[in-house]
Amino acid sequence: MPPLNYFEVECSDRRGGEAYKRIAADVLQDLDLIKVIEKLHIFIDPKVPIFVAAGTIRHLPRQVRLHDFANINVQEGKAVLDISDETYLAPLLTLLWVRFGKEHVEQPDRFTIVLPAEGFQKENIEDLVVADPSASIHQDVIYALQYIAPEGFKVRRQYVKSTKFYYVASEDTLPEDVVETLVAEKFALMGVSL
């Protein structure tokens, strides 16, 4: 498992900072995010009090499209989808029911779906996005940061977009300019701009 390229915990209390580094490492390891997160900088100031975590994600998996796991054969009066991997079958069926109506989507077996050829265009459905694994990765990162943040820090701000994320928590309301300044500083320490 590749280690993070950058991992720092910045805290005015040295022992507290070391403890948080162990906590963060354990949580990331337990949630299997070590291979996902590339850089992470955590800043804790118990006097303010504030917790800031900023980082980058190593790479995001690509969206899963219909043509990735199914062949589409247009026949007389129908289109037959031959499913090679049923991992994404449930979300595919949901999308097809919305698009064609549940009564027009047949599933004679778990590897075959039959659609009416009327109004069907192969080109329009081949690139249908069936799943986006990056959404669950973003949720997992925020979930991990909620565990790492100090107990009782209920005022939160979070941001996840593409490969960058941050999570700010405090006991008190945080002015927007303070959050933006602190987050930008932490990204700069990692050599990343927000």
Domain ranges of the chain: 6-61+133-189, 64-131
DSSP state of 158: E
Tell me the angle at which helices 133-148 and 14-30 cross, rounded to the nearest 10 degrees: 150
pLDDT exceeds 50 at position 136: yes
pTM exceeding 0.75: no
Q: What is the pLDDT of residues 1-44, one digit of tens each?
A: 457 889 999 998 899 899 999 999 999 999 989 889 999 999 99
pLDDT exceeds 80 at position 122: no
pLDDT given at position 2: 59
Beta bridge mates, 60: none
The stretches of the chain forming alpha helices (DSSP H) are 14-30, 89-100, 122-126, 133-148, 176-189
| Two tokens, residue 117 | 């050829």
Closest CA to 28 of 147, 126, 117: 147
Residue 75 and residue 26: Cα distance in Å, rounded?
Answer: 54
pLDDT given at position 178: 81
Closest CA to 114 of 83, 152, 160: 83
Q: What is the pLDDT of residues 38-65, one digit of tens each?
A: 999 999 998 889 999 999 998 777 889 9
* The length of the chain, given as a count of residues: 194
pLDDT exceeds 90 at position 173: no
For residue 67, report the phi and psi dihedrals to the nearest 5 degrees: -65, -15
Number of C-beta neighbours around residue 147 at 10 A: 14
Residue owning tokens 């459905």: 125
Q: Decide if domain 64-131 falls under CATH 2.60.40.
A: no
Q: What is the pLDDT of residues 151-169, one digit of tens each?
A: 889 899 999 988 999 999 9
Contact 180, 193 (CB under 8 A): no
